[in-house]
A and B are shown apart, each in its own frame.
Chain A
Amino acid sequence: MPLVCLSSPEGIEALCSDLGVDYTDVRILMLAWKLKAEKQGYFTQDEWQTGLKALGVDSLTKLKKALPELEKEVEEPSNYEDFYIYAFQYCLTEEKQKSVDIESICELLNLVLGVQFRPQVDSLVEYLKVQNDYKVINADQWINFLRFCKEISFPDLENYDATQAWPLILDNFVEWMREKQS
């Protein structure tokens, strides 16, 4: 299969236009996940080849066709959490970086959870932009955002218990929501 030089962000941009997918589309992230790409914005030769094999495609057109399949695969419960965590780690661009800034987190939330959990994401993003306690989000907080969306009824937040092990940022978020609602 003719390989475009993918070892650069420009290369990936080109790939995107070929696929008819926007660079910021979540499906690119999904592709990155499938390829197990380590560095944001880059696909190495190995990653590309192994990934394509896993997808069972050997041409661009087939890859394009495989995207919906890929979406479905990601949405499977067993993969979803994995993808979700991957999304966060993908943003850790510096060595030894452990947290991601609020701006990027908000975008990431929109991208990754926006479709399935729109109302939660909207409120959460609003809160994150307004609050001052945290300037970055770490992996532990990130994974708990997903748990929150999955487990807590929204927007009534009835079953949220702050005395449980939820991260403090979510305690504060719930308090903020409750104040807004009253």
Chain B
Amino acid sequence: MSAQKKKAFQIEAFKHRVVVDPKYAEKTWKILEHAIHEIYNHNASGLSFEELYRNAYNMVLHKFGEKLYSGLVTTMTSHLKQISNSIEAAQGGLFLDELNRKWAEHNKAMQMIRDILMYMDRTYIPNTRKTPVHELGLNLWRDVVIHSYAIQSRLQAILLENVRRERSGEVIDRGLMRSITKMLMDLGPSVYQDDFEKHFLEVSADFYRLESQEFIESCDCGEYLKKAERRLNEEIERVSHYLDARSEVKITNVVEKEMIENHMHRLVQMENSGLVNMIADEKYEDLGRMYCLFRRVPNGLVLVRDVMTSYIRDTGKQLVTDPERLKYPVDFVQHLLDLKDKYDKIITSAFSNDKTFQNALNSSFEYFMNLNSRSPEFISLFVDDKLRKGLRGVTEEDVELVLDKVMMLFRYLQEKDIFEKYYKQHLAKRLLSGKTVSEDAERSLIVKLKTECGYQFTSKLEGMFTDMKTSQDTMQGFHASQDADIADGPMLSVQVLTTGSWPTQPITTCNLPAEILGICEKFRNYYLGTHTGRRLSWQTNMGTADLKATFGKGQKHELNVSTYQMCVLMLFNNADRLSYKEIEQATGIPASDLKRCLQSLACVKGKNVLRKEPMSKDIADTDTFLFNDKFTSKFFKVKIGTVAAQRESEPENQETRQRVEEDRKPQIEAAIVRIMKARRVLDHNNVVAEVTKQLQSRFLPNPVVIKKRIESLIEREFLERDKGLLAQELDNVLKLDFQLLNGEVSRQLLLLLSAGNREEYCEVVRNSIAVGFLGYRRSLVTAISGIGA
């Protein structure tokens, strides 16, 4: 017997492979395959979900997932091939229908199949990174059905054809279209885009290109825009009904480009119906439509705005240079206001109050209003007219409205100082003749001007109001101080004007009638008695008088006349006829004023209290004047005085302008000095820019005039030209007795310096010092190291 080692008890594995019944997998697969067939053949009701699920589960469990999956693929593919054939077989309009139906069925089938194969979906597939069942179903549908040779192109063609038909007005099955596009989206956005959307956009572009060409040849601008808008809305609606939402912006871009962008210029400039005509005819709806449509394309609004701007500028320019218009300043300004209103309305109602359009309007008005140098005068005349009579009986709010509108025009003026001059003149006349409609309105305007231009602008104007008030008090005091018998003589009313506040008037000669002189003296004494150190001078060219006159047949009238006219008329108390020369002699009134005065007394119908021989229109030195016995008027009170502010004649206008130009010179100089004091050193361009900025609230200074003022200031040694850095260095160098160095070197250095060649310059100097030229000074070294730095 041998010594046998005791071995551990081992359980050995089977030496043969233990398998489930090999036919098991095949059998199970066959069951499932059959189920899939049934499902596709609409016989699913006979199937047991539980059993099928279990089968699939077992297959995967026993490691037959591969077989299951590949079987699934094969089976589905073959079914889909059949389906594909049946779809292809469908004729004409039934194609889409069939496709849609089959798609719905396929989805239902996929649902069921996936439920059955859920276990594989959750375990085998993730592990092997294969496509999940649902997705597989979609991919197979896509590859086998949709991308099948026959179906792919036919589908695309039919979809596009439907769109085309709908665009030409036919009714199509939108629901069906919806389902199909949804199907494409489900298959993947790239499928939707590549199979449909891309082509849809191309074809649409062609369609609209053609249509827009047709329209533009046959429609006017307004009609075209209506059509374009309609098409745009149609497309948006189309998308909402049966396309993917993301297609909206793409298709609208196509329409915008083809229908609007490509024809922008032609539309805007269309004769008789383009933008310019729309504005002129106030076609708010069309303009609004244009705005909305053009907003959608790049530079659309820029184009509209530019064309509008040049139109406004051109028409404005025509208006302000039209000599007919310029004869009637008040109407002229009213016309400007009406224009502004018109454009404002267009911008608010049609251009959605777009700020850039507002700005364009403002700059256009500023441009053309300042083309006419008399705009400031005219605006003042307009205001004068309003404050004299135009605003009579108008409510406070409406007054404010009118004044605000005037202020808007005022803001556009570049020469506000000219306006100020005229305004002062006109205001003076209004105040002195007591012809202002409402003192509140006057004051309100002053406040607005003050807000706009600052205190300086209005301080003198306010001074005028103060004088009027003070004069009232003075008159009261005067009358109280006089004896009762003064009531027998002429009644005097004096306004005492402070010289600085009122427009400067030349002192004119005029011999007041004796009847007046007395009381005038009394007033003078009274006033100077209470105000020492003042000088009074009568402004005979600004006064008025009321005369009681009795004519031939005893008709009595009260004549309201100017002081000059009074002087002339009073002469006829002592004479029935007087020659021009005699009148001139007696009154001492300057010739041009006298002629104007006589003209208004003798040559105006209804006011001719004097007769003239000969009866010509103009006043000649040789004329004779007679008291007009036969004067009649239906009014008791006859106004003859020419007191209303008139548009200046050309020579007067020139004179005023010259005076304003003279006033501007010290203002410019003051600005220059202010700026230079602050900045110390400044280059010419910046000086001009700063001066312009400082003065812009009053006027726009001419750069040439600024230059002249600068030169004048230089001559008077307020300013000097800066010699520049180089010159200063030269000065420094020269001061250091450079000539002690070698003459040749110094010449060389100076050449370098004037050529601006700093580096070489320093090099030469350093070398010279190194070589040890005689006579250089320590200060030279410091100076040079300073320059070289």
Residues of A within 8 A of B (CB): 76-78, 98, 138, 140-141, 143, 163-165, 167-168, 171
Contact = CB atoms under 8 A, between A and B. Distances in A.
B711 A163 contact: no
Nearest to B707: A168
Contacts of A165: 683-684, 707, 710, 721
Nearest to B685: A163
Name the residue in A143, A167, A171 with the highest tally of chain B Cβ atoms < 10 Å from its Cβ: A167
A140 B715 contact: yes
Contacts of A167: 707, 711
Interface of B is mostly: helix
B715 A138 contact: yes
Contacts of A164: 684-685
A77 B684 CA distance: 26
Interface string B678-691: 00000111001000
B704 interface: yes
Interface string B133-161: 00000000000000000000000000000
Interface residues of B, number: 21
Contacts of B750: 76-78
28 contacts: A76-B747, A77-B750, A77-B751, A77-B754, A78-B730, A78-B734, A78-B738, A98-B715, A138-B715, A140-B715, A140-B721, A141-B711, A163-B684, A163-B685, A163-B688, A163-B703, A164-B685, A165-B683, A165-B707, A165-B710, A165-B721, A167-B707, A168-B704, A168-B707, A168-B708, A168-B711, A171-B704, A171-B707
B720 to A, nearest CB: 8
Nearest to A138: B715
B707 to A, nearest CB: 5
B714 interface: yes
Interface in B702-727: 703-704, 707-708, 710-711, 714-715, 721
A168 B734 CA distance: 31
A140 B718 CA distance: 13
Interface of B: 683-685, 688, 703-704, 707-708, 710-711, 714-715, 721, 730, 734, 738, 746-747, 750-751, 754
A23 to B, nearest CB: 30
Ranked 7 nearest A-B pairs via Cβ: A165-B684, A140-B714, A78-B750, A168-B707, A77-B750, A138-B715, A164-B684
A47 B573 CA distance: 84
A131 to B, nearest CB: 15
Contacts of A76: 747, 750
A165 B684 CA distance: 5
Contacts of A163: 684-685, 688, 703
Nearest to A78: B750
A165 B681 CA distance: 13
Given A140-B714, A163-B685, 8 more contacts: A77-B751, A163-B684, A164-B685, A165-B721, A168-B704, A168-B707, A168-B711, A171-B707
A85 to B, nearest CB: 12
Most buried by B among A76, A165, A168, A171: A165
Contacts of B738: 78
A127 to B, nearest CB: 17
A78 to B, nearest CB: 5
A169 to B, nearest CB: 9
Nearest to B708: A168
Nearest to A147: B721
